[in-house]
Amino acid sequence: MGANARHRHDKPRPQPRSPTRPPPPLGGSRFELLDGVGDDRLGEPAKFKAFIDRVNNTPLHDIAIPVSGFCWEFNKGNFHHWRPLFMHFDTYFKTCISSSKDLLLSDDMTECEPLMQILRVMQIVLEDCQNKTSFAGLEHFKNLLASSDPEVLVAALETLASVVKINPSKLHINGKLSTVEL
């Protein structure tokens, strides 16, 4: 056998892995993939970034319009991607819901519609994202829980429940936590 021949018991040597990202695919750049061209999984950040930008560029008094049709169409998310949206919601709460007086039972449900839509979107995002322990918008829930409107109260409680909800796949069969991933 020559110097380059391998014996049957010789294993191929593993190629060293680069600690950096792999090079972009031929014919495109990483940025194209993030803009939605190519692999759908890699295009997701661009899809929800477009939604977040649309909501954040909408005046607060019209915020119910872009959030009303929101539904989760993504893989398991990372809450950090959604922080700009939650910061905008925080601005809404500070500006439009300054005290529990604003949340008294009202015959005009159109006043509560933006709030109900925001709580619905918050709940959806929190249920479908990891890293939700970094959610820092709890201070506004004191006012929401003081509402005399039962729909606002229920929506606030459901949103709070989504913050602390533990993924059932993280439980052992005997019910003990194997890992906590909020």
The DSSP string of 100-117 is GGGGS--S-GGGTHHHHH
Instruction: Confirm whether 133 is domain-assigned.
Output: yes
| Model confidence band, residue 177 (pLDDT cutoffs 50, 70, 90) | low
Report how far residue 121's alpha carbon sits from residue 118's, in angstroms, rounded to the nearest whole number. 5
| Model confidence band, residue 114 (pLDDT cutoffs 50, 70, 90) | very high
Instruction: Confirm whether 109 is domain-assigned.
Output: yes
Task: Take residue 152 and report the two structure tokens written for it.
Answer: 């606002």
Entry pTM = 0.66
pLDDT value, residue 130: 84
Give residue-wise pLDDT tens across range 24-50: 444 333 333 333 333 344 456 788 899
Report how far residue 132's alpha carbon sits from residue 103's, in angstroms, rounded to the nearest whole number. 26
Instruction: Confirm whether 1 is domain-assigned.
Output: no
**Alpha helical stretches, state H, 71-146:** 79-96, 113-127, 141-145
Instruction: Confirm whether 14 is domain-assigned.
Output: no
Instruction: Confirm whether 89 is domain-assigned.
Output: yes
Report how far residue 182's alpha carbon sits from residue 126's, in angstroms, rounded to the nearest whole number. 9
Instruction: Confirm whether 107 is domain-assigned.
Output: yes
Domain count of the fold of the chain: 1
Instruction: Confirm whether 164 is domain-assigned.
Output: yes
Q: Share the mean pLDDT of the chain.
A: 72
Instruction: Confirm whether 34 is domain-assigned.
Output: yes
Domain residue limits at 157: 30-170
pLDDT value, residue 102: 52
